[in-house]
Structure formats: C-alpha cells, structure tokens
Amino acid sequence: MVRRATEGQLPEFDDLDWKEQLPQPPREGRWNELAKDVAAMANTRGGLLVFGVQDKTIELVGVPAGANTEQYRQWIRNHVHPYLPDLDMVELTDGSKTVLIIDVPASEAAPHLVYGTAARDKEQQAAVAPYRANDHTAWMAEHQLERAYRERFARVGLAEHEIQRHLDFTVQSISAQSPTPAAWLVAVSRPQRPLPRGAFEPDRDQARGVLTRAKDRTTRLLAGQRVPAALHGMGDTLYNPRPGLRRWVCSTLELPFNREVLVELHHDGTVVAAISQWLRGRDAEPGDATQPLTVSDRLLQSCCYDIVALVQEHQRELRLDSTQQLTVTLVAPHGPRPLEASTASYWGHGMEGVPEYSRRSHHTQPVHAVLSPAGSDTEASGAADLLHRDLLAQFGI
C-alpha cells in the first residue's frame, strides 16, 4: 500500500504525513517533533505517520531497519498528555527498503497537549495543542481549545447515556418476554469513537461468522474447564441471526428450552448481550419475592468470556480502529429480589453451593473494561477474568 501510494504520488493530508527520516531525540528548547505530530493526528481524526518517504517528492527512500519503537513510545508518554494508549507502530520491509508506520487513532480524550521546556529555564514547562490542517500542523487558538474540551465532555456524557439507554431497554425486553423470575447478566459495549468513513453494514453471513467465532474462541480459551458456555448452549439459534433495527438479533427467549440468551450485533459497533442465570427445565423459582435468585460462579465466568469474545470479533468484522467501552451488570428484571452467588470452591469439588459468609444484595454495581480492537487471547482472558472477579467480589467471594 505504501509503495502504491508513493508510485501514485499520493499527497499529504490531515490523516497522512510522509517523513523522510526516523524520529529524532528532543532537542534543547524545542518541542519533541514526534510528540507534536502524534498529538496533532490524535486531535484531528487520526491517521498515519509514514517514515521512509520524502515529503516533497513523495519518493520511497526507506529508513534503517530496527527502529527503537520503545524509545519513541517513551517520548510520546513523556511529552503528550493525556496519554495515548492505542498507538500502533509497525516496521515493514520488502527486502530492499524499510518503512516505519505509526498508526494514530482519533482520540476520545482530545485535546492532547504537547509539553516541552524552554532553552533558558529547564524547569519552565510550556504546553501547546497541535492539530492537522490539510497537509500541515497548526496550533489551536484559545477558542479552538475551548470547543475541543467542550466536545470531549459531551462525548463522555453521550457515551454514558447511550450505554444506560441500551441497558434499560434490554431489561424491559427481558421482563416482557421472560415470565420466570431469574437473575440476568446484561452487558453493553460501544465503540469509544464513531465508525470510520466508509463503514459498511454487516450482512447475515457476517453476523453469523461473528457469533460462530466468538463461541469457538470461548471454547478454546476455557478448554479443560467445566463451565456451562452460554453461546454454545444456544444450539442452532446461534447460526440464524434475525434482522432488527440496524442490528442483527440472536435470541432464544421465544424457545421453550435451553438457556435464555439475547445477543444483538449493532451496525454501529454496539454489542448487547443478556444471559439468564436460570436454565429452563429446572423447577421454576418460587413466587416469594424474598426468595433469593442464584448466580452461578462458573456461568458468570463463561458469560464474561463469551461477551469479551463477541465484542472483539464484532470489532474485527467491522474493522473498527477504536477501543470498546464494556459495561456488565447483574439485574433482576421482574422486580427487586436478593441475589446470591454459588461457587464450586465452597464444596471443593464439582458441585456448587452458597457459602454461609457470602453477601446477598438486591443490586450490584456495574463493572467495566476497555477492549482494544486487535486484542490477543491473553488480553481477552485478562479482561474476562477481571469482569468475573469484580462481579463475584460484590458477593464477598
């Protein structure tokens, strides 16, 4: 792609910056040039810094292989605030020439300031806010900074509102369609930035692929552990997502068997999941509102793995370059009922039981995780385990 771009003389723009040489160390009394360029991209709409291309002639000249990307990250950490966690640095070579790519995502935390010291007074810190204006970098004026901060706070408020809206609507849907009182795990995940330009709406086959890969990934990550996988228990329903309002919906709420599970894959990158902690076929929960609703430790673990896998597979299918904000909570849709957690560790073998020391609560606090679009299995397992641990800790277990 870089070679084709240089052969076609693709000019610089606000999301593309050609650089002939590798980044240079910060010099006395000057801004760190790499930090400035990265912050400018993040403050605009993201883009690519390509090292190894002459910016005037757009000639592919290459750079020495083995760039010290850890040092570059350190410069950015030291000079750009707030911190930019999602930078991707990739060295590419065709055997004759090497280029270094720094992929800078548009940031929800914009504006990012670049800090430097004055030449005469090393203790004096100064800060500026760069941004990309077509093919060059400019500095934000006071009114631009004011607008950037206002937009940041508006994004945060909108994200919280949208997550809560999805949670409320899902709980209403459960209470209307599921007649049996039960504890439910409900999760909502949204991209922290809107979809990029040219985003497509996935078709049924693509939605089916997301669901299938998520199920297979959870099965692989939990191999050898005796956990009741929620997605695996959906049977053939998993492979037949139905259309919804700008989303694909996979639900067993209408079926008289299996566990009640609702999964929604939204075209805008949102993922909604609701999983009942009660398995149809058992005796129905008594009608007494004081009777606790049971939450299974092992099922919670499986649910967290399923949800993380769903979110990341949906991210990859839509080619999202944004992190996902994931919120997970436990609810009793049919009215306040005490919740209690059962765990196999109480008995020390395969059976689960409710420890005498555990707490019962009518409400639990939502727990959160942030997932990157290119997360590895290790990252996925870590996020799922953290969610599982945070939910279970609220019962004193």
Which tens digit of pLDDT belongs to each residue from 58-116?
999 999 999 999 999 989 988 899 888 778 899 999 888 999 999 998 887 889 999 87
Single out the residue of 365, 320, 341, 375 nearest to residue 105, CA to CA. 320
Whether the per-residue pLDDT at 17 is higher than 60: the answer is yes
* 241 confidence band (pLDDT: 50, 70, 90): very high
Cα separation, 48 vs 89, in Å, equals 10
Predicted model pTM: 0.72
Long-range contacts from 155-159, C-beta under 8 angstroms, 24+ separation = 155/108, 156/108, 159/190, 159/192, 159/325
Quote the Cα angle for 317-232-246, to 5°: 40
Query: Which pLDDT value is given to residue 348?
Result: 47
Cα separation, 317 vs 298, in Å, equals 29
Which tens digit of pLDDT belongs to each residue from 295-341?
988 889 999 999 999 999 999 998 887 788 899 999 998 888 889 98
Say if residues 65 and 93 touch (Cβ distance below 8 Å). yes
Whether the per-residue pLDDT at 54 is higher than 60: the answer is yes
Please tell me the class of the 2-140 domain. Answer: alpha beta
Residue 190: beta bridge partners?
Answer: 325
In the block, tokens 């010099």 appear at: 27
Whether the per-residue pLDDT at 214 is higher than 80: the answer is yes
Say if residues 47 and 12 touch (Cβ distance below 8 Å). no
Lowest average pLDDT, out of 178-182, 346-350, 356-360, 368-372, goes to 346-350
Which tens digit of pLDDT belongs to each residue from 105-149?
888 788 999 987 655 555 667 888 999 998 889 999 999 999 998
Cα separation, 202 vs 189, in Å, equals 17
Domain ranges of the chain: 2-140, 152-393
Q: Where are the alpha helices (DSSP H) in the chain?
A: 2-7, 33-43, 69-79, 142-177, 204-221, 297-318, 377-393
Quote the Cα angle for 53-59-65, to 5°: 40
Token readout for 35 is 């930090």
- Average of per-residue pLDDT across 34-56: 92
Cα separation, 343 vs 397, in Å, equals 8
Residue 250: beta bridge partners?
Answer: 263
Single out the residue of 238, 284, 236, 230 nearest to residue 260, CA to CA. 230
Whether the per-residue pLDDT at 29 is higher than 60: the answer is no
Whether the per-residue pLDDT at 198 is higher than 70: the answer is no
Sign of the alpha-carbon dihedral angle for 361, 338, 392, 359: positive
Q: Going by C-beta distance under 8 Å and a sequence separation of 6 or more, which residues neighbour residue 290?
A: 338
